[in-house]
Amino acid sequence: MNRRLRAVLARLAQALPVILGVVLVSFLLTRALPGDPAAYFAGDAADAASIEETRVKLGLDRSMPEQFGLYVLQLAQGDLGQSLTTGQPVVEELARRLPASLELTLVALLVSCGIAVPLGVLAATRPGSWVDHACRLLVTAGVSLPTFFTGVALIYVFYYLTGWAPSPLGRLDFIYLEPPSVTGFFLIDAALAGDAETWFAALRQLILPAATLALFTLAPIARMTRAAMLSALSSDYIRTARAAGLTSRKILFGYAFRNALLPVVTTLGMVFSFTLGANVLVEKVFAWPGIGSYAVEALVASDYAAVQGFVLCMALLFVALNLLIDLAYSMIDPRIGFDSK
C-alpha cells in the first residue's frame, strides 16, 4: 500500500510540468486575446482617464513578466483571482459550477455507457450481421450532429411541442429549492437529504442535456467496446473457457468483457475529459450553470482570471482523471503494476 502511495505521488510529480505548462500557456493565451479588458470593464461611459484608472486597478499596467509573477504568486496561495464578468472570486465560482458540469457529464456518460456498451457487446457477438451494421449506423448518426443542434431540437420537440420535458432552465425548476449542499451534485445532495421530489426534479432537468451529450458520446464508446470485445472474444483463453464448458454468459461477461474493459476505460477517460470541455455548447443551450458556459463568457469578455482559472481547473481534473484511470487499470489488470508506467 505504501508502494502504491509512492507511485501515486510519483505520478503527481510527473504531472507537475504539465500543470506548469498549462499555467504558462493559459496566461499567454489570455494576454493574446484581443481587446482591452480595462476598457471593457471601465463601463459604458468611461473616458480615457477612467479606463486608465481601471487598468491600474486590474494590475494590467504592469509588464507581462511582472503580471505572470503576480499570478503565480497568487496561485501559490490558492487564489485564482476575481472574475470581472461575474464579479466573483474565480475559486468560489468554479467550486459552485464544477459540480454542475460534472453532474451533467457523469450522468450523460452513465446514460451513454448504459446504451453504448451493450450495443458494442451486441455488435461484437454478431460481427457483420445487420445488428452490427445497425449499431454502427446509429452511433455514427449520433456523433454526426453538433450538440447545440441536437439540444435545440430536443428542446423544441420535448419541451416546446409536447411539453414532456420541464422548462430548460438550468439545474432545477425555480419552484424547487436547491438541496442543502454537500457534494454540489443535486442528485446526491437531494438523496442525502431524503428529498425525493427535489431528486426527481433535478433528474428531470438533467434528462435533455444529458441525452444530448450522451448521443454524442455513444460512438466512441460503442466502437471501442465492439473492437475490444471482438479482440477479446477471439483470444485463446476464450477458447479455453469454451472448451472447459463454461456457460456463454460466464464467457461473455466474466472472461471477455472484463478483458475488454481496459481499452474501454481508456476511451471513457478520454471521452470524459473531452465531453467536459465540449459541454460549453450544451450548457449554453440549456442554461446550465456549469463551468463551460462560464469559460465561454469569460473568453469573449477577455476575463483573464476566469479563463485562466477555468483552464487550470480543467487541467487539474485531467491529471486527476488520468491518475484515476491508471488506478482503475491496475485494479482491472494485474499485469500492469501501478508503478510500471
Partner 1 sequence: MGLDTSRRGFLKGGSVALGAAALPFLKFMPAQAAGDDVVVVVMGQTINSLDLHRTGTNRPSYQVAVNCYDRLVSFGTKTMPDGSLSYDYSTIVPEIAESWTVSDDGKVLTFRIKPEAVFQDGSKVTAQDVKWSFDRAVSVGGFPTTQMAAGGLLRPDQFAAVDEATFTVTLDKPSKLALPDLAVPVPFILNSKIAKQHVTDADPWAMEFVHKNTIGSGAYKVVRWDPGQQLVYERNDLWTGGPLPGAKRVVLREVPSQATRRALIERGDVQMSWNIPNKDASELDGKVEVYSTPIENAIYVVSLNYNFEPFQDPDVRKAVAYAIPYEEIFKTAAYGRGVPMWGGSGIETIDWPQPSPYVFDLDKAREHLEKSAFAGGFDVPFSIDLGQSDWMEPTALLIQEQLAKLGITSTIDKIPGANWRTASLVEKRLPLALETFGGWLNYPCYYFFWAYQEGHLFNSSNYANPEIEQLVAETLDLPVEHPDYAPKVKRMFEIAFEDLPRIPLFQPALSVAMNGATGYEYWFHRELDARKLAKG
Partner 2 sequence: MLTIKDLAVSFRTRRGEVNAVRGVSFEVAEGETLGIVGESGSGKSVTSYALMRILDAGGRIKAGEAVYSGVDLKRASEREMQGLRGREISMIFQNPRAALNPIRKVGHQIEDVLRRHARADAQNARAKAIEAMEAVKIRDAEARYDAYPFELSGGMCQRIVCAIALACDPKLLIMDEPTTGLDITTQKAVMELVTELIRERSMSSILITHDLGLAAQYCDRIVVMKDGAIVEAGDPVRLFARPGHPYTRKLVDATPREGASIRELLPAEVRTPEPPRRISDEALLSVRDLVKTYAGKSGPVHAVKGVSFDVKAGQSVGLVGESGCGKSTTSSMVVRLLDPTSGQILFAGEDLAKRPSAGFARDPMRAKIQMVFQDATDSLNPRHTSRQTIAEPLRAMAGLRGRARAERIEELADLVGLPRPLLDRFPHQLSGGQKARVGIARAIAVNPDFLVLDEPTAALDVSIQAIVLNLLVDLRARLGMSYLFVSHDLHVVRLLCDHVVVMKGGEIVEQGPTEQVMTAPADPYTAELLEAAPKPPARDAA
Partner 3 sequence: MNTMTEIPTVAEPQAPPAKSKGALDHVIYVLKDNPVTLLAFAMFAVLMAAAVLGPALVPYDPLATNASEALQPPSAAHWFGTDNLGRDVFSRAIVATRLDLLISVAAVALSFVIGSVLGAAAGYWGGWLDVALSRVLDTIMAFPLFVLAMGIVAAMGNTIENIVYATAIINVPFYARLVRAEVNIRREAGFALAAKLAGNTDVRVLAMHIFPNALPPMMVQVSLNLGWAILNAAGLSFIGLGVRPPTAEWGIMVAEGANFIVSGEWWLAIFPGLCLMFAVFTFNLLGDGLRDMVDPRRRT
| DSSP 8-state assignment for residue 156 | I
Q: Is residue 210 a contact partner of residue 105, using CB atoms and an 8 Å limit?
A: no
Residues at the contact surface with partner 2, assessed by CB under 8 A: 127, 234-237, 239-248, 250, 254-255, 258-259, 332-335, 340
Site string for partner 3, 311-340 (x = CB under 8 A): x--xx--xx---------------------
Residue 80: all three cell numbers together: 485564482
Q: Which stretch binds partner 3 (CB under 8 A): 59-67, 102-110, 195-203, 271-279?
A: 271-279
Q: Out of partner 1, partner 2, partner 3, none, which partner does residue 304 contact, by CB within 5 to 8 A per kind?
A: none
Whether residue 19 contacts residue 313, with contact meaning beta carbons closer than 8 Å, is answered with: no
Least distance to partner 1, CB of residue 294, Å: 6
Element (H, E) at 117: helix 90-125
Residue whose CB is less far from partner 1, 93 or 132 = 93
Report the nearest approach of partner 2 to the CB of residue 140 (Å): 22
Query: Mind giving me the DSSP string for 245-277?
Result: T--HHIIIIIIIIHHHHHHHHHHHHHHHHHHHH
- Cα distance between the two ends of the chain: 17
Distance CA 128, CA 48 (A): 70
Residues contacting 22, CB < 8 A, separation 6+ = 311, 312, 315
What is d(CA 250, CA 258) in angstroms, rounded to the nearest whole number? 11
Q: Assess contact for 198 and 204: CB atoms under 8 A.
A: no
Partner touching 333 among partner 2, partner 3, partner 1, none, CB below 5 to 8 Å by kind: partner 2
- 231 touches which of partner 2, partner 3, partner 1, none (CB within 5 to 8 A by kind)? none
Q: How far is the CB of 1 from partner 2 (least distance, A)?
A: 17
Give the count of residues interacting with partner 3 (CB under 8 A): 51
- Shortest approach of partner 1 to residue 32 CB, angstroms? 12
Contact 238, 180 (CB under 8 A): no
- Rounded least distance, CB 41 to partner 3, Å: 17
Which listed option, partner 3, partner 2, partner 1, none, makes contact with residue 207 (CB within 5 to 8 Å by class)? none
Nearer to partner 3, 8 or 145 (CB): 145
Q: State the minimum distance, in angstroms, from the CB of residue 65 to partner 3.
A: 19
- Report the C-alpha gap between 330 and 327 in whole angstroms: 5
Q: Of 54 and 259, which has the nearer Cβ to partner 2? A: 259
Q: What is the pattern of x (binds partner 3, CB under 8 A) and - over residues 2-41?
A: -------------x-xxx-xx--xx--xx-xxx-------
